[in-house]
Amino acid sequence: MNWFISCIKQNYTNFNGRARRQEYWMFMLFSFLLNIALSIVSVILVSISTSLVSVTNIISFVVWAALFLPSLAVTVRRLHDTDRSGWWALVALVPFIGAIVLLVFACMDSTPGSNQYGENPKGL
């Protein structure tokens, strides 16, 4: 959870620098768990009253909107850590193949030493 809070508080829209695999995957894991919890709450609220559908949709959208920029920023920093431009994040727009390519890049080890995007975060 500390990685998630750190990304939100310190790096909300920071597209510069590098992000280790641990920072990236912990952020993504916590975002996933938050979305699962939100989905469960939404199902419970809608089962209580169908008039709450619009409320749960608004809450879901607000959470998605709040997490979109930090998710994009940590993805760009993760790509920087593998010595790739943040523009590679656009490959996610290609159905299926794009997600696989980003998954491979996200799983790769850091570029040793410093690269054009900064110092290796493992050494800091």
pLDDT in tens, 48-57: 888 888 999 9
Q: Which of 22, 2, 1 is nearest to 74 (CA)?
A: 22
Q: What is the per-residue pLDDT across 52-99, written as a single tens digit (0 to 9) for each?
A: 889 999 999 999 999 999 999 999 999 999 999 999 999 999 999 999
> Within 10 Å of residue 13's Cβ, how many Cβ atoms?
8
User: Quick one: pLDDT at residue 6?
Assistant: 73
CA distance 22 to 57: 31
Q: Which of 110, 53, 34 is nearest to 78 (CA)?
A: 110
Q: Say yes or no to pLDDT of 40 above 80.
A: yes
To the question of pTM greater than 0.75 for the whole model, the response is yes
Tokens of 82: 């593998």
CA distance 25 to 29: 6
CA distance 73 to 9: 13
CA distances from 92 to 65, 81, 89, 102 (A): 18, 18, 6, 7
